[in-house]
Amino acid sequence: MVRIAAFQYLDKLQQVHGDVLPWSALVSGFVFQGHSIPLIGAAGIWKPQVLDIPISITTSPSNPYGDSTGDDGLLSYRYQGSPARSYDNDGLRRAMHEARPLIYFRGFDRGQYGALWPAVIVADDPATSTFTVACEDVQLLRPDLGVTVVDEVRRRYVTRLAVDRLHQAAFRQRVLKAYRQSCSVCNLRHVQLLDAAHILPDSHEQGNPVVPNGLSLCKIHHAAFDANILGVRPDYVIEIRGDVLAEVDGPMLEHGLQAHHGGKLLVPRAAAEHPDRERLELRWQEFRRAS
Ligand SMILES: [Zn+2]
């Protein structure tokens, strides 16, 4: 039952913090029958005292896109620690044999983690020192805490969706940090109203979730950018589409959109994090075609 309680605790944390969870809340954990249960610890493979099988595995923030997904869409997790701590890896082997669900944490940045659960270890390959991790549908958990046998296709699909969500959360975290939590058009600083917009979409071959393919935009400017009402030239000048510029309406249109025509995009300090001009050029051509 501890695991189910842990998943419920994560649900609550996600309602408060969204997809980026603070280390402090994970390390303090929750109280279960009088015992404090931290969900994350100093070691990558974490087992709280009251359990005999680990409850979570964690990847380092220094490798935020790390622990690659294979062609099968499943995650790889490297064996942890020194030979002296081989009990950590043995713990994961037990989790695999006894089908115990775990939490997979991915470090996005110092003190900030994404999480997938329930995760299960589905393979152990000593030749490459890696475990294979899949994500399960939470509804499939049986009351006895085992995980029902599901067909491979479904498991891969669920894992792919979960990992994609994790990548998007990492992208948002990095883009917003680069732009110091403000809209690059209007400078709005309300994090809950900010998105990380893709310059080129996921489906484009250059549409990968890296900061130079991102813009920090408030909800209204994100929607306007996606709808080709607002365009960004490769020299970072903002343009509002002609027909919208000519409209007469209330203050939202006037101050929210029209006033930004001809303005300059606010970009991060570090040149390496600036929006990529080549990608902007491609996106700008699409805006022009819509004009
Ligand atoms: Zn804005």
Distance 135 CA to ligand 1 centre (A): 36
Pairing mode of beta strands 75-78, 102-109: unpaired
Rounded to an integer, what distance in angstroms lies between the CA atom of residue 264 and that of residue 32? 53
Q: What are 202's two structure tokens?
A: 């996921």
Q: How confident is the model at residue 269 (pLDDT cuts 50, 70, 90)?
A: very high
In this predicted structure, the answer to whether residue 35 has a pLDDT above a threshold of 80 is: yes
Tell me the C-alpha distance between 39 and 24, whole Å: 10
Q: What percent of the chain has pLDDT over 90?
A: 70
Q: What is the reported pLDDT for 181?
A: 95
Distance from Cα 190 to the centre of ligand 1, integer Å: 10
CA 288/CA 21 separation, integer angstroms: 40
Taking the centre of ligand 1 as the mean of its atom positions, its distance from the CA of residue 285, in whole angstroms, is 22
In contact, 46 and 58? CB cutoff 8 Å: yes
Helix (H) / strand (E) containing 122: strand 112-125
Domains of the chain: 2-174 (2.30.280), 181-290 (no CATH)
Q: Which token pair is 273?
A: 């994090």
How remote is the CA of residue 213 from the centroid of ligand 1, in Å?
18
Distance from Cα 193 to the centre of ligand 1, integer Å = 9
Longest dimension (CA), the chain: 72
**DSSP SS3 for 105:** strand
Q: Which residue has the higher pLDDT, 63 or 15?
A: 15
Can you tell me the distance from the alpha carbon of 214 to that of 199, in angstroms, rounded to the nearest whole number? 6
Q: What pLDDT was estimated at residue 143?
A: 52
What is the radius of gyration, based on Cα positions, of the chain?
Answer: 22
Q: How far is the CA of 219 from the centre of ligand 1 (A)?
A: 7
Residues 6+ apart with CB under 8 A from 65: 167, 170
Q: What is the mean pLDDT of residues 161-179?
A: 92
Torsion over CA: 286, 176, 238, 254 (sign): positive
Q: What is the pLDDT of residues 71-104, one digit of tens each?
A: 778 899 988 877 767 888 999 999 999 989 999 9
Lowest mean pLDDT among 44-58, 84-98, 135-149, 186-200: 135-149
pLDDT at 151 over 80: no
pLDDT at residue 280 above 90?
yes
Q: 122: pLDDT confidence band, cut at 50, 70 and 90?
A: very high
Ligand 1 centroid to Cα of residue 218, in Å, is 4
CA of 183 to the centre of ligand 1 (A): 5
Sign of the torsion formed by the C-alpha atoms of 224, 225, 228 and 231: positive
Q: Residue 26 pLDDT > 90, yes or no?
A: yes
Q: What average pLDDT does range 109-136 have in this prediction? A: 91
Give residue 251 CA to ligand 1 midpoint distance, Å.
14
Q: How far is CA 179 from CA 125, 148, 194, in A?
A: 41, 44, 11
pLDDT value at 54 more than 70? yes
Which pLDDT belongs to residue 139?
Answer: 60
Ligand 1 geometric centre to CA of 165 (Å)? 24
**142: its two tokens:** 């049986």
Q: pLDDT at position 291, please? A: 83
Distance in Å, CA 243 to ligand 1 centroid:
20
How far is the C-alpha of 179 from the C-alpha of 289, rounded, in Å? Answer: 29
The DSSP symbol for 61 reads: T
CA 127 to ligand 1 center in whole angstroms = 51
Dist. CA 239 → ligand 1 center (Å): 14
The residue among 141 and 255 whose pLDDT is bigger is 255
| Of 81-85, 140-144, 159-163, 276-280, the least confident | 140-144
Instruction: Kindly list the distances between the CA atom of residue 290 and the CA atoms of 202, 228, 253, in Å, as whole numbers in the listed order.
Output: 20, 7, 19
Residue with tokens 């499939």: 140
Kindly indicate the confidence band of residue 188, based on its pLDDT and cuts at 50, 70 and 90.
very high
Give the percent of the chain with pLDDT over 70. 92
Q: What is the mean pLDDT of the chain?
A: 90
Instruction: Tell me how far the alpha carbon of residue 198 lies from the centroid of ligand 1, in angstroms.
Output: 15
Contact 105, 57 (CB under 8 A): yes
- pLDDT above 50: residue 145: no
Q: How far apart are the first and last CA of the chain?
A: 58
Closest CA to 191 of 201, 207, 199, 179: 179
pLDDT at position 149 is 54
